Structure 1
Amino acid sequence: MKIRDFLGSTVLDKKAYEVGKVDNVDFNAETGQIEKITLTLQKNLFSKDELEIEFDDIATIGAYVILNKEIPKPQDEETVEATIEVDDE
């Protein structure tokens, strides 16, 4: 796999929850081994968070990057209920 194919890959935790996408990869300059990856977590259209994952926390790399640990889900945004009444005239 080439690095350009790896960047942008979808990352799943061990319970198959979609965590984010690979944004960056940190290599050891002497060995060439991956030390950690940085994920972009999409919060909404204009807001993104990042999460760093150590290479030891990666179970497999293929069509998806699958982690060998669970990542806590972000808390849902507060929702507001609304009722709309429609006149049938």
Structure 2
Amino acid sequence: MAHLAVRLTPGAAADRIDGWDVDAEGRPVLKVRVRARPVEGEANAALLTLLARALGVSKSAVSLQRGGQSRLKMIQVDGLDDARMRANLTRL
């Protein structure tokens, strides 16, 4: 099981992964944009779908652990370890 910190930007022109950044505390954060608006969980659902597709896992393997109402989110990915997850994201 892998954990991934994500900074989500809803309402973008296209769904895309922008790459890695660091948060205020120096931890790595994946920057992601989705077209969906932050209404009734639509942006969170779009984020989970995009990450599942990018990582090559099923949608049910990707879940939101923290940050449902925040731009900074913690995502759990079942079926991958941290190293494999980062390798999959790096090749994008």
| Common topology (TM > 0.5) | no
State the structure with bigger RCO (CA 8 A, min sep 6), 1 or 2: 2
Length-normalised TM-score, structure 2? 0.30
Which has the greater radius of gyration? 1
Instruction: From the two aligned structures, give the one with the greater strand fraction.
Output: 1
- TM-score between both structures, scaled by the size of structure 1: 0.31
Q: Larger % of helix: which?
A: 2
